[in-house]
Amino acid sequence: MGRVDSPTPVEERGPADVAVRLEGLAKMYGDITAVAGIDLDIATGEFFSLLGPSGSGKTTTLRMIAGFELPTAGRVLLDGQDVSQLPPYERDVNTVFQDYALFPHMSVEENVAYGLMVRKVPRDERRQRATEALRMVRLADYADRKPGQLSGGQRQRVALARALVNRPRVLLLDEPLGALDLKLRQEMQVELKAIQQDVGITFIYVTHDQEEALAMSDRMAIFNHGLIEQVGPPAEVYEAPATPFVAGFVGTSNIISGPCAEAILGATGVFTVRPEKIHLGGLDEPIADGYVGARGRVRDVIYLGSDTKYHVDLEAGTSLEVIMQNVATSSTEALAQKGRPVLLVWERRHVLPLGASPSPSGEGGCGPGP
């Protein structure tokens, strides 16, 4: 695919604007294409996420930026310098992994300062920089503890401090929160974003968790089968997905195509509408100008506490998912909707056209688009 950039055109950027540039970057493992020739610019100081399912090429791309993998074709440029063939230790980047890789016999401070010791940084400077890094991650009071005395979130912050202590131009994070439980993971998302804003370093973050990417990123790239399908700020990617794959992978989306699009929308093509944009009401509910209405029957109800998901089979021949907040609805009232005939109503402006055939990951549709 062609180059996908942030709003500033490539030709208008100077070296200081771009921390990482990928040009035609590709990686083959025998006959298997892991990354299929991507072009991407990541701005200095950005929190940038590489998002996609397993096997989509995001981790391989990160490893090529780090130097753990050499590209089959294309280039990796850091601050305008081609580093494609340089080993990791000659690149001004550091990587934080999911497994932390802390030395259990060393104290927290010794773990953080280890890389500086290998580089023969004087002892006093090592200690000063380790203390500064631990202060950044709010662990200055834990310097003398061993990793085994820390929680999972604290160990992750130690790993982050160890990477930050080297003052890299770019910090690479490979699913660093994947081993944490949901509540701790959400807390660490806030922590990581705050730390990144404090230090001003470019973060490149690999994840398969859509909510994580939406919550933390300045911009994100959506990977699929070794290619990038869309790049943009989280709100843009979510509100205006460029392809059926993006619509189905980033959050949940309903895909409406073929005869169903003609029956429901009076249009031909492939369209998407987000479940939370749809209102579930009674059959006698009026449909105002600028709105779309579709009759159906509730097949399934999934009560989630603050929200309820409804799967509705439409008379037009497809199924849509509806997500409604339980502002004034009890679980009993929500679950009682199963089997009832309903009218789904949503604003026409929330119907977005997509430029390709439906993806298997999308919801809805009743056959391929024309």
| pLDDT digit string, tens, across residues 71-122 | 999 999 999 999 999 999 899 999 988 777 889 999 999 999 998 888 889 9
Output the pLDDT for position 180. 79
Output the pLDDT for position 62. 97
What are the residues whose beta carbons fall under 8 Å from the beta carbon of 287, sequence distance 6 or more? 293, 343, 345
Structure tokens at 23: 């040009």
pLDDT at 362 over 50: no
Q: pLDDT tens, 266-303?
A: 999 999 999 999 999 999 888 999 999 999 999 999 99
Residue 344 and residue 293 in contact, taking contact as beta carbons nearer than 8 Å: yes
Output the pLDDT for position 169. 92
Q: Which amino acid is at 354?
A: L
Give the pLDDT mean for 214-219.
95
Q: How confident is the model at residue 8 (pLDDT cuts 50, 70, 90)?
A: very low
Give the pLDDT mean for 119-148.
91
CATH topology of domain 247-354: OB fold (Dihydrolipoamide Acetyltransferase, E2P) (2.40.50)
350, 278, 212, 79 alpha-carbon torsion, rounded to 10°: 0
Output the pLDDT for position 366. 55
pLDDT at 46 over 80: yes
Output the pLDDT for position 35. 97
Q: Spell out the domain ranges in the chain.
A: 247-354
Q: How confident is the model at residue 6 (pLDDT cuts 50, 70, 90)?
A: very low
